[in-house]
Amino acid sequence: MLYRKMPKTGDELSILGFGCMRMPTVDGVIDEPRAIDQIRSAIDQGVNYVDTAWPYHGGASEPLLGKALKDGYRQRVKVATKLPSWLVQSREDMDRYLNAQLERLGTDHIDYYLLHTLKGSSWDELVALGVREFLDAAKADGRIVNAGFSFHGEGKDFARIVDGYDWVFCQIQYNFLDQEYQAGTAGLEYAASKGLGVIIMEPLRGGTLALPEAPPAVAALWDEAATKRTPVEWALRWIWNHPEVTVVLSGMNVEAHIAQNLAVAAVAAPGSLTPAELELVDRVARKYQELMPVGCTGCAYCLPCPMGVNIPNCFNFFNQLHMFGENSGAKMMYTAFGSGVTSNGEQSYASQCVACGECLEKCPQQIAIPDQLEKVAAAFEGPNFQAEVEALKNHFRAGLD
């Protein structure tokens, strides 16, 4: 494991952090024994930064992490969690959420505490409610050690938030597809120039850059490289090539993926990619951007939809259709997963959207979700679609009889 220093504190942090937003599940609930084993195994292999948040897994992530960090593991890591900024209505709420998080995590302090999903408008609202005074007080009494923020706004607002408080660190979405999105490269460099550590989220774009098989047009580009690497290794090494990056968070929930990420984190030094390799990554990025119609990361912040639409699934299959073509099985998977027979019996198709707009404020990617769902429905749901759905349901029922 390689380590980098948090500039203002000198903390030696593992360049790979364990993100607890996408833990392994069974029937929609965290598989606790497996998740705890994964977290502890990663710590045993050198990971010392673990990240969670109030809403992850419907509120179950923080308590799960608290259990995982028993038996001496808490002392071996820096814990990061986040104030649910969108739920805060008063200065008192800030203390109430922080105190509840300390209890959930079974600890008396948070090493790295973030204001979650900041945009320009939400930062202004929190300032008016006294968030600077809250952070000062929580640091003074020891409940938090270092203050930071995660950013999901427009690039024009990033610098003024950086300059708006004595932050130790920030967290931004960054990968080779998102070099000019939200904070982007300009934000990464600005934060670093101000002495902030930078934590990276969505390094694999919600798993898009880690598909077992890359789209054929992308795979053909990777094959040109003199040094052969997996798509995951290319994506991670590209981020760690930036010296401004402190930690990269990975939502690791499969043992093989954890092992793969750890292996890359043992060798990915700043400046280790050649100019030719960086040019190749830029070409791959352009190809992905040509192929992918929706920049969804699958974070599920948009759920639950009041009409029952499984928005991330809809976008996932839509992107697969465009990346891999008609023979990808995307339509069959869309029909099956949205039919209800594999979940709670309720259909969850794109055509159920009534454009209420409830999802729009929740989406950190700022996707025009209703408009995109209309395109999904047009691509997958033809005039005979309901008949196809009923035939599929009958097929499943027959298999259960």
Report the percent of the chain where pLDDT is more than 70.
Answer: 97
128-179 per-position pLDDT tens digit: 999 999 999 999 999 999 999 999 999 999 999 999 999 999 999 999 999 9
pLDDT score for 401: 46
Beta bridge partners of 144: 110
- Of 249, 269, 284, the residue at which a domain comes to its end is 284
How far apart CA 271 and CA 1 sit, in angstroms, is 17
Shared domain for 324 and 235, answered yes or no, is: no
Half-sphere exposure for 218 (CA within 13 Å, toward CB) = 28
Cβ(369)–Cβ(307) below 8 Å: no
Residues in the chain: 401
Q: Is 98 left (phi over 0), alpha (psi -120 to 50) or beta?
A: alpha
Residue 109 sits in a domain whose CATH number is 3.20.20.100
- Per-residue DSSP letter, 242: S
**Residue 211 binned pLDDT confidence (cut-offs 50, 70, 90):** confident
Model confidence at 343: pLDDT above 70: no
Mean pLDDT score, 298-319? 90
Residue 41 lies in a domain: yes
| Total number of domains in the chain | 2
- State whether the Cα torsion 112-115-116-119 is positive or negative: negative
Residue 365 lies in a domain: yes
Shared domain for 246 and 373, answered yes or no, is: no
Shared domain for 343 and 199, answered yes or no, is: no
Residue 242 lies in a domain: yes
Model confidence at 333: pLDDT above 50: yes
Q: Which helix (H) or strand (E) holds 104?
A: helix 91-105
CA dihedral 89, 90, 91, 97 (to 10 degrees): -50
Shared domain for 243 and 334, answered yes or no, is: no
357-382 per-position pLDDT tens digit: 999 988 988 899 999 999 999 999 98
Shared domain for 171 and 238, answered yes or no, is: yes
Shared domain for 322 and 388, answered yes or no, is: yes
Mean pLDDT score, 23-51? 96
Shared domain for 20 and 123, answered yes or no, is: yes
Residue 393 lies in a domain: yes
What residues contact residue 163 under an 8 Å CB cut-off, 6+ apart?
194
- Cβ–Cβ contacts within 10 Å for residue 192, how many? 18
The domain in which residue 327 lies consists of 311-399
Of the chain, the end-to-end C-alpha distance in Å amounts to 52
Cβ(64)–Cβ(57) below 8 Å: yes
Shared domain for 41 and 174, answered yes or no, is: yes
Distance of CA 110 to the CA centre of its chain: 20
pLDDT score for 162: 98
Residue 325 lies in a domain: yes
Shared domain for 331 and 274, answered yes or no, is: no
pLDDT score for 341: 60
Helix axes 91-105, 61-68, angle to 10 degrees: 40
How far apart CA 355 and CA 258 sit, in angstroms, is 39
pLDDT score for 60: 97
Looking at residue 73, its amino acid is Y
227-274 per-position pLDDT tens digit: 999 999 999 999 999 999 999 999 899 999 999 999 999 999 999 999
Shared domain for 259 and 323, answered yes or no, is: no
What is the pTM for the complete model shown? 0.87
Residue 302 lies in a domain: no
**Residue 400 binned pLDDT confidence (cut-offs 50, 70, 90):** very low
pLDDT score for 299: 84
Shared domain for 194 and 123, answered yes or no, is: yes
- Of 234, 267, 284, the residue at which a domain comes to its end is 284
How far apart CA 263 and CA 319 sit, in angstroms, is 29
DSSP assignment of 121-153: HHHHHHHHHTHHHHHHHHHHTTSEEEEEEEE-S
What residues contact residue 287 under an 8 Å CB cut-off, 6+ apart?
215, 217, 218, 221
Two tokens at 88?
């805060």
Shared domain for 280 and 327, answered yes or no, is: no
pLDDT score for 384: 87
Residue 301 lies in a domain: no
DSSP assignment of 319-355: HHHHHH-GGGSHHHHHHHHHSSTTTTS----GGG---
Two tokens at 384?
């005979």
- Cβ–Cβ contacts within 10 Å for residue 195, how many? 14
Residue 299 lies in a domain: no
Helix axes 330-338, 311-324, angle to 10 degrees: 170
SS3 306: coil
72-120 per-position pLDDT tens digit: 999 999 999 999 999 999 999 999 999 999 999 999 999 999 999 999 9
Which residue matches tokens 């969670």?
52
**Residue 336 binned pLDDT confidence (cut-offs 50, 70, 90):** confident
Report the percent of the chain where pLDDT is more than 90.
Answer: 80
Residue predicted with more confidence, 253 or 389 = 253
DSSP assignment of 257-302: HHHHHHHHHTT--TT-S-HHHHHHHHHHHHHHHHH-S-------TT
